[in-house]
Amino acid sequence: MDAREMKIKAAEAALAHVEDGMRLGIGTGSTAEEFVRLLAERVADGLKVEGVPTSERTARLCVELGVPLKSLDELPELDLTVDGADEVDGSLRLIKGGGGALLREKIVAAASARMIVIADESKVVDTLGAFKLPIEVNPFGLVATRIAIEKTAARLGLSGPLELRMAGRDPFTTDGGHYILDASFGRIPDADALAGSLNFIPGVVENGLFINMASLAIIAGPAGARTLTAKD
Ligand SMILES: O=C(CO)[C@H](O)[C@H](O)COP(=O)(O)O
């Protein structure tokens, strides 16, 4: 089974949790896109759902494939969000934001009764941090915010380069008009403390640590899909 087939397997398993009439948060990234494709087939067959996309990219795909969309203001309480992840640990803590949609993804997940993560085995880790942690920041005061992040991380025993994410020669800009600093802190033993501390920094809009948000992870490997639930 190649990487795409594993993503499709995970997406198929998540689709089994979707029921008629559901209000769905729809994630961003290549795995979430497989979910959108399968969902669109079910919608074409008569399934009634309304989706809130977590990015402009996902919104475009949903429109193209005929998945009905609403804004989060129109549907502020959702039944289920299905989204990918860059890393998942055994307590279903996540790193997200590799696709740059972390802010909307977190807002949508927080508005959902349940969040199902879909990923392949390569995303499962013992301790978060091998993947660079995306931190969404306001462009104003970028240098000051970067220094504040470094000091906050140091207080938690973490250090490492913070790279401004680029799109060609310009900084990558999120759907919300912000920049992303990708932090190479390495292993993050206390993700809960880091997540809370980062969001206290003025200028930090959101961080890519998703704690206590996912209720289930569907992990696809060469032998098929398995589920992970939080250990604690
Ligand atoms: O957080 C995300 C986007 O902001 C994605 O869910 C994450 O990057 C995983 O993407 P993919 O399924 O393409 O590996």
Query: Is there a contact between 117 and 142 (Cβ–Cβ < 8 Å)?
Result: no
Ligand 1 center to 73 CA (angstroms): 24
Residue 232 has pLDDT above 70, yes or no: no
- In the numeric block, the tokens 């696709």 are attached to 99
Q: Which atom of ligand 1 is nearest to the CA of 100?
A: 4
Q: Distance between CA 219 and CA 221 in Å, rounded?
A: 7
State residue 1's pLDDT score: 80
State residue 230's pLDDT score: 81
Tell me the average pLDDT of the chain.
97
Best mutation site among 58, 96, 131 for ligand 1 pocket (most ligand atoms within 8 Å of CB): 96
pLDDT digits (tens, 9 = 90+) for 119-172: 999 999 999 999 999 999 999 999 999 999 999 999 999 999 999 999 999 999
Sort 70 into a burial class: Cβ within 10 Å, 0-12 / 13-18 / 19+: middle
Ligand 1 center to 201 CA (angstroms): 25
Examine the residue annotation and report whether 56 is marked as an active-site residue of this protein: no
pTM above 0.90, yes or no: yes
42 contact partners, CB below 8 Å, separation of at least 6: 15, 18
pLDDT digits (tens, 9 = 90+) for 186-196: 999 999 999 99
Query: Is there a contact between 210 and 109 (Cβ–Cβ < 8 Å)?
Result: yes
Rg (CA), the chain: 17
Query: Is there a contact between 104 and 206 (Cβ–Cβ < 8 Å)?
Result: no
Query: Is there a contact between 216 and 102 (Cβ–Cβ < 8 Å)?
Result: no
